[in-house]
Amino acid sequence: MSASVAATTVRKDESQLRQKRMIEEHFDRLSDAPETGEKTAYTFVPGNLTELLRCFDLLPVLPEINALQAGMRGLSRQYIALAEKHGHSEDVCTYVKCDYGMMKSGNVGPTGKKVPDPDLLLLSYTGCFTFLKWFEILQREYECPVVMLHVPYQGDGKITDSMKKYVVDQLREKVIPVLEDVSGVAYDEDRLREQLARSAQAEDDLVWVLQSAKQRPSPIDAYFGGVYYIGPIFTAFRGTEDAVEYYRELRAEVEERLAAGLGPVTPDGEIDDERYRIVVEGPPNWTNFREFWKMFTDEGAVVVASTYTKVGGVYDFGFRHDPDRPLETLAEYCMGCYTNLNLPSRVRMLSEYVRDYDADGFLVNSIKSCNSFSAGQLLILREVENATGKPGGFVESDLVDPRYFSASNIKNRLESYFQMIEQKRSGGRA
């Protein structure tokens, strides 16, 4: 039984247009950097130090964002094939292979312009061992300085004072001196405080938007739609006035939808019949993103909370960047990212989402080449089922390798899963 999706031309909201302009302007600056003299730092989404980089006038480049955009543009297959031709294993993270193939193909970004070579590789290690090997590859290719911020894993489910001091000491004694040397700009803590204050302001509005999904009907999709909402704050724009304005506009737009009782906007129109409320664990598939999303909208399934939208920062449990404690708050941010949490912490988070968002069930999209997310997901699935009494589902795909997206397989599994929810309802809600 299919849900009703209003078949109208989807109007782009002002926030969407603003984000598009922000991305285009950023990539224009990147492509012009060799002529303007601006310098770039390659880094990663989880635990990124964007506010700190911008204090040194360094432009952030995020390789995994380049990879997922290549997947959405239909280029990842050829990039991955080129990387495998150069000896990279089929089992290697496909973000790595896609980024490597893109680099070997001229390093052309999503706006059709070349992404410049890095002046610095800044590795903030947050629960993904692949990042270490990825930067080893990039260092061999670019022969530029590398600095690593080692972030302790939350093995016991908490951040201790000694862990925090360990990260802060690295920032002061290792990271900041390298940033000063590469950029030629002196560290200015007041400038960092200003950036962090803007981050906290944007984070407030993002959390409001994500938590609007607690309402019925949810005015947003917190997984497919959510990947657009988190874009500015998880990538190159946190700490900027552009990010503040983007999230202010986004919140106002969602407030309007909420007041009007409207469901989420999708590429195929608005969902006007919310039949299933789902919590999703794991990243989406980027090569077939719209097709994957449509499998949900066809059934009236709305994702009301997801873990992927926490990979670059878990804000909805209270964390905000604190300008009064600049380096300490950066340390806490890095250690609090989703992939740096242990399995019991992830189970508790997901169980709270199922309860707080009144979800009908919990679904895992297991990513073949992403151990950081996929390790332990079957255990998480069973534990969340036990904790909430709601049915769990499991599908498999990949980040940017189209060879591992089987539309018929995923569609069949999703249809079976929604039937399971219906059977659960007919027997009485848990």
Percent above pLDDT 70 for the chain: 96
Residue 34 CA to residue 30 CA, distance in Å, equals 8
pLDDT at 102 over 70: yes
379-396, pLDDT tens digit by residue?
999 999 999 999 999 999
> Band of the pLDDT at 19, cuts 50, 70, 90?
very high
Which token pair is 358?
A: 């009144």
Give which of 105, 114, 57, 60 is closest to 81, Cα–Cα.
105
Residue 210 CA to residue 196 CA, distance in Å, equals 21
Residue 55 CA to residue 38 CA, distance in Å, equals 13
Domains of the chain listed by start with CATH number:
5-11+192-426 (3.40.50.11900), 14-179 (3.40.50.11890)
Which token pair is 104?
A: 């070997």
63-74, pLDDT tens digit by residue?
999 999 999 999
Q: Pairing state of beta strands 58-61 and 301-306?
A: unpaired
3-state secondary structure of 75: coil
Return the DSSP state at 173: I
pLDDT at 341 over 80: yes
- Residue 6: the pLDDT is 56
Q: Which residues of 15-54 are buried (b: 16+ CB within 10 A; e: fewer)?
A: bbebbeebbeebbeebbebeeeebbbbbbbbbbbbbbbbb
- Residue 133: the pLDDT is 86
Do the Cβ atoms of 53 and 62 come closer than 8 Å? no
- Residue 246: the pLDDT is 97
416-426, pLDDT tens digit by residue?
999 999 998 88
- Residue 334: the pLDDT is 95
- Which residues are 6's β-sheet partners? 270
pLDDT at 373 over 80: yes
Give the mean model confidence (pLDDT) for residues 307-320.
94
Give the mean model confidence (pLDDT) for residues 145-165.
95
- Residue 207: the pLDDT is 98
How many Cβ atoms are within 10 Å of 153's Cβ, its own excluded?
Answer: 14
> Band of the pLDDT at 11, cuts 50, 70, 90?
low
- Residue 108: the pLDDT is 94
Do the Cβ atoms of 161 and 173 come closer than 8 Å? no
pLDDT at 127 over 80: no
Give which of 380, 282, 387, 264 is closest to 13, Cα–Cα.
264
- Residue 427: the pLDDT is 76
247-286, pLDDT tens digit by residue?
999 999 999 999 999 999 998 889 989 999 999 999 999 9
Q: What size, in residues, is the chain?
A: 430
> Band of the pLDDT at 1, cuts 50, 70, 90?
very low
Residue 297 CA to residue 183 CA, distance in Å, equals 47
What radius of gyration do the chain's Cα atoms show? 21
How many Cβ atoms are within 10 Å of 105's Cβ, its own excluded?
Answer: 13
The pTM of the full predicted model, rounded to 2 decimals, is 0.94
3-state secondary structure of 130: helix
pLDDT at 215 over 90: yes
Give which of 405, 371, 365 is closest to 133, Cα–Cα.
371
Give the mean model confidence (pLDDT) for residues 103-112.
92
Residue 237 CA to residue 65 CA, distance in Å, equals 13
- Residue 130: the pLDDT is 83
pLDDT at 356 over 50: yes
